[in-house]
Amino acid sequence: MRGLDLRIEPGERVLLLGESGAGKSTFLHALAGVVGDDEGETEGSLLVDGEHPAAHRGRTGLVIQDPDSQVILERVGDDVAFGCENLGVPRDEIWLRVRDSLAAVGLDVSLDRNTSALSGGQKQRLALAGVLAMRPGLIVLDEPTANLDPEGVTEVRDAVIRVAESTGATIVVVEHRVSVWSDVVDRIVVLAAGGGVIADGAPADVLARQGKELAARGVWIPQYPPPRPVRAERGPQHTLLSARQLTVGRSNHALGAPLELEILSSHALAITGPNGVGKSTLALTLGGLLPPVGGAVVASPALAGGAGEHPIRWKSRELLTRIGTVFQDPEHQLLTSTVRAELEVGPRALKLPDSEVDARVDELLTRLRLDRLAEANPFTLSGGEKRRLSVATALATRPQVLVLDEPTFGQDSRTWSELLALLARLVDDGSSVIAVSHDLDFVAALADSTVVLE
Amino acid sequence: MIPIASVNPVAKLGAGLIVSLFLLATIDWVSATTALVLELAIIAFFGIEPKRFWLRTLPVWLAAPLTALTILLYGRYDGTVYFEFLLIRISDGSIELALATFLRVLAIGLPAVVLFISIDPTDFADGLAQRLRLPDRFVIGALAAVRMVGLFLEDWRSLELARRARGVADRGRVRRIAGQGFALLVLSIRRGSKLSIAMEARGFGGDTPRTWARESPWGQAEWLTLLVGLLVGVTATVVAVLTGSWNLIVG
């Protein structure tokens, strides 16, 4: 980003918008004073309280998107105390602040509680408490709710508001989902992709003036919901997979009661339910990747095609044309160093002729708007691009069943809408789609039936 | 029951080291047996659940006979030879040495494991920084890294499943594991850099002298722990010297 002129007054609550790549995260990191001199070029000046941000260590608090990457210590109390220790706060004062901060973010757990046992929403509130304990004048939040379920989103948003009201701290937040924050902030600033500011003003004004254009760029604007696919007439359905008295779990520890499920062709099934009930584990088990703890996942002859009725016993290569799985974190699935090579992995494993491999890869590159990035390293892609790539890698081998784990987490509205259209077309063309999702809009737009795990 | 869990981890480490030093100075079965008997008597007072004790110390129970077996077959030969085959030679000398080694591995390994079961990494880091005055950055960095091990294990499992899903899990195991290891490395570096941003954003690595939210207590219990370690070591050595079996390893 470059050429940005912006002045934020003390106590303001600002929502920062802009399409992917506009440099919002970089700006927040710079505000928090954590952009090193070796990480890119800087021109112009950025001052917090009239000084260089690095001189203000601890005056600016940063909360980032990934809940797991900002938990530092093992016990809740120690984690909150960490920032205070670094600022040299005396011991007695630290524990007063720890208690105050935990109360302010509404995290009512014991100080000895293990931080890895917290839910995503709780971890984000823990991070906020850790920031708060440093008594910052400015709190910057980089998509703090993007990876959370609806309950977690509300928890974190409410905690931020409470903190802002009780401390009077200045708040700068970046988030795609405008509706979460638009009633809470008193100013929206829209950054341009090339640099500079497109719009700046009261939320209602900015959304009225720029809403439509922002929506087209992938920002979630309540008044302009992304388009949903029109569903086609579908052919007859038949069973591809069934779960019989299925219990799932990791290392033989069962999660939840036995399940009976029929997975049909030309059908989209959504799996929802609160955190920790084993939705992802169920998805991996249906995908033939984890063995069932009890009962069985049985493939119909139409799906198995001579490979045996238990997907877990199939060879890895045999899964490719039968059941594709898209993981929650696309980075877990990356194997190569270019987008094109990544798409070739599946078709090559099937030993398809070169011409066929090229044809499939080219088609997917175009269809998922990845053609410009064919030679790019997959790890350098944006969140939305990585998601599209991970779906494309599964589609390259044309599986009859596609399993997806939280495909819309953290996606902008444009990717969301494209993904939905793509999946709807797969279902219309006869495939079966199984999606684990917290995203109620996504479920409503796609699912033919829904299983709620409890 | 001795409340060993609340003893400063640095003292536990110290006691373990003291015993080891005494036992590593000599290689005979008398000192090792004496130490082992004393240790087992002390451990009995810690009140560890038997199941937990056996499970945690299992590696030591496995390692001890394996090490002893190697020495039995290939160790120094002396006195009567009972069996010979190629390089294998079982003799009075190798039998005695094997027995001494077996007991020694147990005498050093068991208390080390038992003392470390109850060590909390955070308390340990506090002790290292506040009591041993190791540099803050080093200690806290290591502590944060230890906490990430759990995440790495989860990443590893996901990578394994993801490879199966991508159709590449059928080919050579060695190559697959190498590829997966590299992928884990990439993921770890990314996680690590995010964590370091989070830590830096909370003032870590600044110029302000750091304070510590938790005390790292040091009192009678800690001195006592060190003293017990010293007593075990000294007793074992004295008994061995008196029975004439103590032999200093030189060099």
**Interchain CB distance below 8 Å, B166 and A346:** yes
**Interchain CB distance below 8 Å, A316 and B166:** yes
Q: What is residue A198's predicted lDDT score, i.e. its pLDDT?
A: 84
Q: What is the pTM of this model?
A: 0.82
Q: Which residues of B touch A253 (CB under 8 A)?
A: none
Contacting B residues, span 195-214, partner chain A, CB-CB under 8 Å: 195, 197-206, 208-214
Contacting B residues, span 117-146, partner chain A, CB-CB under 8 Å: 120-122, 143-144
How many structural domains comprise chain B?
2
> What are B169-193's pLDDT values in tens digits?
887 778 888 888 988 998 888 888 8
- Considering only CB atoms, B168 lies closest to which of A34, A57, A316, namely A316
Q: Which residues of B touch A70 (CB under 8 A)?
A: 194-195, 198
Contacting A residues, span 77-96, partner chain B, CB-CB under 8 Å: 77-78, 81-91, 94-95
Query: Which of A28, A35, A73 to probe the B interface (max B CBs under 10 A)?
Result: A73
Q: Are B131 and B8 in contact (CB under 8 A)?
A: yes
**Interchain CB distance below 8 Å, A333 and B165:** yes
**Interchain CB distance below 8 Å, B197 and A130:** no
Contacting B residues, span 7-66, partner chain A, CB-CB under 8 Å: none
Q: How many Å lie between the alpha carbon of B110 and the closest alpha carbon of chain A? A: 26
Largest Cα–Cα distance in chain A? 71
Across B74-108, b (16+ Cβ under 10 Å) vs e yields: ebebeeeeeeeeeeebbbebbbbbbbbbbbbbbbb
Q: Are residues B29 and B151 in the same domain?
A: no
Residue B83 in domain? yes
Q: Whole-number mean pLDDT of chain A? A: 88
What residue numbers bound the domain in which B193 lies?
A: 134-201
**Interchain CB distance below 8 Å, B202 and A58:** yes
Question: Which range is most confident: A4-8, A33-37, A223-227, A308-312?
Answer: A308-312
Q: Are residues B42 and B88 in the same domain?
A: yes
Using DSSP bridges, classify how beta strands A253-264 and A239-250 pair: parallel, antiparallel or unpaired.
antiparallel
pLDDT above 90 covers what percent of chain B?
40
Give the domain A13-216 fold: Rossmann fold (3.40.50)
Q: Between chain A and chain B, how many beta carbons pairs sit less than 8 Å apart?
A: 154
Give the domain A239-452 fold: Rossmann fold (3.40.50)
Domain A13-216 and domain A239-452 have a common topology: yes
Q: What is residue A36's predicted lDDT score, i.e. its pLDDT?
A: 58
> What are A353-411's pLDDT values in tens digits?
999 999 999 999 998 889 899 999 998 888 888 999 999 999 999 999 999 998 988 78
Q: What is residue B251's predicted lDDT score, i.e. its pLDDT?
A: 39
Q: What is residue A21's predicted lDDT score, i.e. its pLDDT?
A: 64
* DSSP tag of A136: -
Region A426-440 average pLDDT: 92
Residue B93 in domain? yes
Q: What is the ipTM of this complex?
A: 0.84
The full DSSP string for B3-58 is -GGGS-HHHHHHHHHHHHHHHHHB--HHHHHHHHHHHHHHHHTT---HHHHHHHHH
Region A341-349 average pLDDT: 94
Q: Are residues B51 and B154 in the same domain?
A: no
**Confidence category of residue A50, pLDDT binned at 50, 70, 90:** confident
The full set of domain ranges for chain A reads 13-216, 239-452
Q: Which residues of A touch B209 (CB under 8 A)?
A: 88
Q: Which residues of B touch A324 (CB under 8 A)?
A: 165
Task: List the beta bridge partners of residue A147.
Answer: none
Q: What is residue A196's predicted lDDT score, i.e. its pLDDT?
A: 80
Query: Which of B202, B204, B212, B215 to probe the A interface (max A CBs under 10 A)?
Result: B202
Q: Are residues B78 and B182 in the same domain?
A: no
Q: Are residues B87 and B139 in the same domain?
A: no
Instruction: Inform me whether the C-beta atom of residue A324 falls under 8 Å from chain B C-beta atoms.
Output: yes
> What are A93-108's pLDDT values in tens digits?
999 999 999 998 888 8
